[in-house]
Amino acid sequence: LKDRFEIILTPEELRAKLEEQNYPYFIIDLMHWEKHTPREKKKVAFQASRSYGTLRDYLVGDSLIVTWANEEFKKLLKGMPLDRGNIIEKSTAEFLKEKGISEVVLLDPNGDKDLSSEDFNVKAFILGGIVDMGGTKRGTTSQIAESLEKEGIKVKKRKITLRGDVIGVPDRINLILEILLKMLTEDKDMERAILDVQ
Beta strands in 39-89 (DSSP E): 64-67
Q: Which of 25, 15, 42, 4 is nearest to 153 (CA)?
A: 25
Segment near ligand SAM (CB under 6 A), from 73-81, 92-100, 170-178, 188-196?
170-178
For ligand SAM, the binding residue among 160, 183, 184, 193 (CB under 6 A) is 160
Can residue 45 be called a binding residue for ligand SAM (CB under 6 A)? no
Nearest to 73 by CA among 105, 30, 20, 10: 30
Contacts to ligand SAM from residues 67-126, by CB under 6 A: 107-109
Query: In this chain, which stretch among 18-26, 35-43, 86-94, 134-142 interacts with ligand SAM, using CB under 6 A?
Result: 134-142
Cβ atoms 168, 109 nearer than 8 A: no
Q: Which is nearer to ligand SAM, 80 or 105 (CB)?
A: 105
Q: Which of 124, 156, 127 is nearest to 18 (CA)?
A: 124
* 28, 33, 39, 40 alpha-carbon torsion, rounded to 10°: -50
**Contacting residue, 61, 69, 101, 128, with ligand SAM by CB under 6 A:** 128
Among 88, 137, 147, 188, binds ligand SAM (CB under 6 A): 137
| Footprint on this chain of ligand SAM (rule: CB under 6 A) | 107-109, 127-128, 130-132, 137-141, 159-160, 166, 169, 171, 173, 176
